Structure 1
Amino acid sequence: MHPVHSKLRNTLTVFLCLLLLAMAPMASATLPVEVDGEPLPSLAPMLDRTIPAVVNIATRGRVVERNPLMEDPFFRRFFDLPQQPRERQTQGLGSGVILDAEQGYIITNFHVIQRADEIVVTLHDGRRLDAEVVGTDPATDLAVLRVQGDNLTAVKVADSDALRVGDFVVAIGNPFGLGQTVTSGIVSALGRSGLGIESYEDFIQTDASINPGNSGGALVNLRGELVGINTAILSGGGGNIGIGFAIPVNMALQVKDHLVAHGEVRRGRLGVTVQDLTPELAQAFGISQTQGAVIAQVEPGSAAERAGLKEGDVVLRVNERRVRNATELRNAIGLLRVGSEVQLDVVRDNRRRTLTAVVAEIRAATTEGAQFNRRLEGASFSEITEASPLHGRVQGVLVTGVQSGSPAARAGIREGDVILSVNRQPVSNLEEMRRAAGSNGQRLLLNIRRDEGAFFLILQ
């Protein structure tokens, strides 16, 4: 080709490219609202109905900060320093979902309103309402609030047991305090547990963006029905990487009913030790099932023994609901009301049978500190039971109460403390603490967990 023609052709090509780029914004600005007579798909109509049921939550509170060394009376006496705890104001942001418009019930995460002295709910229309706490359940990280207001909108509820991996979901909340925000994704996995986030875990995993401030917000399906309460993310740097977790709405509703009725969840127990049914155990038992919960131990005198459960039984269903592993059995029993009957479908000797048990209350045996050591007089102790949010996460002995002015109180022991070790001997139950603290020597050296920190305390 002639050089002049080639140069002219190149110039025309560049001109046409520039012309097309200039026209692109005009074309995008006039996208059609429909194609071949069909409207383009949009989530907007569903969100118009659903968003009014999702609220923003703002909290204020106070936290008393203490230097662990100042808890030691010997240290204070030696340096002649008064104990001066520092008080710090806290603020928090989160989300919530209106479940009952007539009663004004809102469900959110416990960690959103934890230690809050003031809770203000902002509705979609801009109204700000003061909220009161109806009840909390740290073990599932759920709380129920109540507001007084007219023309509230409640969310429609779906059956979270019907969710499947791959279903489309939408997360609605208040990330970073920006105001109501919507993100979409799919259900990435179901039945996530063993994450160490809560004591009772059965999470929906989703890649819909869940960020700080989304906690307590709604995870809905494409019909705008609530399927979960957004709770946590898995992230190395605090931002979203596509792994978020929501509490299934079926579990949330069970907890809500407990909290509305009693202000707390009165968890039941069967009195068994369970483990997952593995392919190896299934082969050893000679059964064809590959999912279930194996009864490894039955406590004497427990509800399980009275119902006829035996070691080696494999629980397949609880009240007609399938049990895939030990965690699901624990969750199912822990959310039942104390005194209620539960139907258990089990396999024993390769034969299926149905047993009925009456769920018993979890009662923690309490021991007075004076029975361990005179320096612990005035404090009471118990083991960490299934009802505690610390169960399975912390090994130690729980301080259930401290009498004002007692030797234990003057030493700096507080209700809610967890004794991790005594005289450098780890303790995980009352008997171990009895042996470690039994000597009335010159002192006791306690390693104490308080809130999210730990320190040593010397009792002279």
Structure 2
Amino acid sequence: MRPLLRFPIVRFMRRRQLLFPLVLVAIAGAVLFQGTLEYDAAPPPNPRAPVPGTVPAEPARTVVRADLEKTPLTYFADYWAQLAERAEVHLTSVGAAGAPAIAVGTRLVLAPAEPAAAVLAAERRASLVGGAAADGARELGPFRLRGWEPDLGLALFEVTGEELMPFTLTDPRVLPSGSYVGAVTLTAAGEPAVTPGYFVAVKPENDGLPDDLVVSMNLAAIPALAAVVNLDGALLGVVHATPSGPRVTSSTSMLRMIEGFQVDEVCRGLEVADLDDAVRERFVIERGVLIEYVDPAAFHPEPSLRGGDILLEWGEEDVTSAEQFRQLYDAGAPGELVRYRVLRNRRRIAGGTVLPDTECRPVSQGPVRFVSSGMALEWVDAAGGDAPGALGWVVAAVRVGGPAARAGVAEGDRLVSLEGAATDAEDDRAALEAASERTAPMLLSLRRGDRMRLAVVQPEEPPAPDAGNEGER
């Protein structure tokens, strides 16, 4: 200690009684500095190494959320994926192309119009040229066509196989504007897909019933058909493709459309109405109905009946009411010659007319069937053709695997000549009907678009109907 007292600073600290505290501070600082050096030199600790004397750490657990967690803002993409999976049990596919369909009943599905058009085209092809058909059953796998509306782009199919689980329908009018909704459907691969969006409003029809839904979503990303559902998976409406663009129809309007699809409508070439008693007294008649409308396309070359005629007799029976006339009309067979009697300009006129088919097409001027060649030709006027040069005799149907199909003839081809003889007039029907009975090879000159083709068709005995049906199914 004495040697240190030689230093003035030490003597000063001693007189002030600060020497001892200073020594303690120095010792503490040295200890802390040494600890810092040892910590930096030590290796990093292993978090997985067990610590002696401590309880092992609890293993990490996977966070399990509810099956359908209503937190779209927190788990947005995952939430909509869950919703699509929940809705998958209410969706199915129709047709070879796998068109998406919505189960609206245990035995009913709503589908795009394309599968229905394919069924009807196959049915018409079979009726014209034979081959595979469903014998009028309009079946497509486990589905049977009940009705369709091309303008709406929708078709109704009945389920002939296993029952489906339908959507639960809800009234969109009770949904607040701005609520989340999703359009669920099946992809071409059969996987569920969803397009999220928002519900805006319901556009009422003139009668006040709900019609189209107004939604905010990417409708262009939706295929031919999708179900619009709320967060609970209940059906609010459907998105469907129409010739004028996508449309979102409410569930209430959808039910009315389904009811209309299930009503078999028969096209009649005549529309009639009952007569008032005052009108009958004026014309001094006790029976008859007024012909309101005559479909000019249903009769060839033109109808002998006119709008404004009073129809007195039909098929040698007195006409007493519009309902009775419809029954008499429906009882007739397409192509049947029906005798009638009408009152026209206060003159009684008798005549006859050939009943058109159930689609209001004149039977006498139907397609010319080349059954042994597996094709049918029909006359298409200028109004019925879309492409240049569509006027003329056009291939209406080709039997799959038949002689015409093997020769390269396709539906929509225009027949320019047959065996070198031009076929550019409707009056060539007689020549074509005679050629349809040929058994020798026929040389056809065809126009397909702006290209010409030549085909040699060798007629053969058509297949038996039963064999064709088995081949289709």
- TM bucket normalised to smaller: 0.3 to 0.5
Structure 1 length normalisation: TM-score?
0.39
Larger Rg: 2
Structure 2 length normalisation: TM-score?
0.38
| Structure number having the greater strand percentage | 1
